[in-house]
Chain A
Amino acid sequence: MAECPICGGTVNLGEDTVEGELIACADCGAELEVTGVNPLTLAEAPKEEEDWGE
């Protein structure tokens, strides 16, 4: 379990969670990225940004 950095809700994660995995908070719907597994830490996932074709 980890805490959602946006709403403070509890986010349940499986034991096989890996760093860099993207998940969603069931309470606020935020897209989150697993930034560490020992201990478990989450951060808001970067939003998709416009690709100007470069």
Chain B
Amino acid sequence: MDKVRVSIAGGSGYTGGELLRLLLFHPRAEVAQVTSESLAGKFVFKAHPNLRKRTQLQFSALDDLRPCDVLFVSLPHGKSMEKMREFRALAPRIIDLSADFRLRQERDYREWYGNSHACPEMLGEFVYGIPELHREEMKRTSFISSAGCNATVTILGLYPFFKLGIVDPNRTVVEVKVGSSEGGNAPSAASHHPERSGAVRSFMPTNHRHTAEVIQELSFREAIQIHMSVTSIEMVRGALATSHVFLNQPLEEKDVWKVLRQVYGEEPFIRIVKESEGTHRYPEPKWLIGTNYCDIGFSKDEKSNRMVMISAIDNLMKGAAGQAIQAFNIMHGFEETEGLEFPGLHPI
């Protein structure tokens, strides 16, 4: 069986490390190169100690990148768009994990990221990278833009209800609790251990950039409004979205189960978690560490039409590298779960 030759542009960060971990053991992939400007020439285990003795790969400089079948791009936001024209000459298929090609409209980059786009002609070529929403387009495209972690956990919790038009499109409030790995591997005063440890820190109460992706992907009939806040908590990996929506028709919890089954019944990485008793009644990021699952639960307020959706992921997996591998599998017609079968750890 011929393997797909893949390379990773920008492989020294946490997302790059997860991509490498998954690709090294993927039965259909062969990793050709991994780049890092600061670590060029050094073994990849210098950045990713979990991969010691599992590969002899050394980091390359970006300028030394050679042609490959698929290029995963894990460069910082803003850098990817600067290099994309060069990258497309190196690889016929590209999966970009930055935010640079997630939004369809150039004006949205000015509004949400505060700068113009360096490669606007390619925005329309990329498919937004949540398979549960864009699986069929992924089978036909050469360019996929992997979705943001906070956007993914929010969108997957809300998608069935906006798709079916059964919630008020302008009254959704989302609170996302996130771990420290979302901040990347560059240290800062805010990530210094005495400051960060034990923190419950309102990181972005308003204007979080991922809001733009959520609005884009959930606006089926009209431009919707999403009111989103992000809070950093004591956790390394994980994201938990608590989304408050208001139903526009009377639904009981049994009906909500049916809606979720209707939309997600065949999805390999979506699990409905809702039990009436016991410890594990609703989704928890802790049990998803290292997995590609998105667990979704809900509770309908008996005294109003408010419904609370609870969704959880590992931000580095379903929120980044895992979802990118899922897209890679779909793009190539492989079994969607290949290389992503890990069920998580318990206890941890």
Contacts from A to B (Cβ < 8 Å): 6-9, 27-30, 47
Q: Is B267 an interface residue (CB 8 A)?
A: no
Does A28 lie within 8 Å of B276, measured CB to CB? yes
Does A7 lie within 8 Å of B278, measured CB to CB? no
Closest-by-CB residue of A relative to B281 is: A29
Residues of the B chain whose Cβ atoms lie less than 8 Å from the Cβ of A7: 253-254, 257, 274
State the majority secondary structure of interface residues on A.
Answer: loop
Q: 12 A–B contact pairs at CB < 8 A?
A: A6-B253, A6-B276, A7-B257, A8-B254, A8-B258, A9-B257, A9-B261, A27-B257, A28-B276, A29-B278, A30-B275, A30-B276
Residues of the B chain whose Cβ atoms lie less than 8 Å from the Cβ of A30: 275-276
Closest-by-CB residue of A relative to B275 is: A29
Q: Is B123 an interface residue (CB 8 A)?
A: no
Q: How far is the CB of B278 from chain A (nearest CB, A)?
A: 7
Q: Is B119 an interface residue (CB 8 A)?
A: no
Q: Is B226 an interface residue (CB 8 A)?
A: no
Choose one: B257, B274, B276; the contact of A8 (CB below 8 Å).
Answer: B257
Give complex CA distance A7, B300 in Å.
13
Q: Is B65 an interface residue (CB 8 A)?
A: no
Q: How far is the CB of B113 from chain A (nearest CB, A)?
A: 41
Closest-by-CB residue of B relative to A3 is: B254
Which residues 243-284 of B have a CB within 8 angstroms of A? 253-255, 257-258, 261, 272, 274-278
Closest 5 CB pairs of A and B: A29-B275, A7-B257, A8-B254, A8-B257, A8-B258
Q: How far is the CB of A35 from chain B (nearest CB, A)?
A: 17
Does B258 lie within 8 Å of A28, measured CB to CB? no
Residues of the B chain whose Cβ atoms lie less than 8 Å from the Cβ of A8: 254-255, 257-258, 261
Does B278 lie within 8 Å of A28, measured CB to CB? no
Closest-by-CB residue of B relative to A27 is: B272
Give complex CA distance A29, B275 in Å.
6
Residues of the B chain whose Cβ atoms lie less than 8 Å from the Cβ of A47: 277
Give complex CA distance A40, B174 in Å.
41
Q: How far is the CB of B124 from chain A (nearest CB, A)?
A: 40
Q: How far is the CB of A40 from chain B (nearest CB, A)?
A: 18
Apart from the given pairs A7-B274, A29-B275, 8 other A-B contacts in the complex at a CB distance below 8 Å: A8-B255, A8-B257, A8-B261, A9-B261, A27-B272, A28-B257, A28-B274, A28-B275
Q: How far is the CB of B303 from chain A (nearest CB, A)?
A: 20
Closest-by-CB residue of B relative to A25 is: B275
Closest-by-CB residue of B relative to A9 is: B257
Residues of the A chain whose Cβ atoms lie less than 8 Å from the Cβ of B254: 6-8
Q: How far is the CB of A2 from chain B (nearest CB, A)?
A: 14
Q: How far is the CB of A27 from chain B (nearest CB, A)?
A: 7
Q: How far is the CB of A37 from chain B (nearest CB, A)?
A: 23
Residues of the A chain whose Cβ atoms lie less than 8 Å from the Cβ of B275: 28-30
Q: How far is the CB of A15 from chain B (nearest CB, A)?
A: 26
Residues of the B chain whose Cβ atoms lie less than 8 Å from the Cβ of A27: 257, 272
Give complex CA distance A40, B277 in Å.
25
Give complex CA distance A6, B274 in Å.
11
Give complex CA distance A46, B236 in Å.
41
Contact with A along B271-301 (1 / 0, CB 8 A): 0101111100000000000000000000000
Residues of the A chain whose Cβ atoms lie less than 8 Å from the Cβ of B274: 7, 28
Give complex CA distance A18, B295 in Å.
34
Give complex CA distance A46, B63 in Å.
68
Q: How far is the CB of A18 from chain B (nearest CB, A)?
A: 25
Residues of the A chain whose Cβ atoms lie less than 8 Å from the Cβ of B276: 6, 28-30
Task: Give the most central of A7, A8, A27, A47: most B CB within 10 Å.
Answer: A7
Q: How far is the CB of A3 from chain B (nearest CB, A)?
A: 9
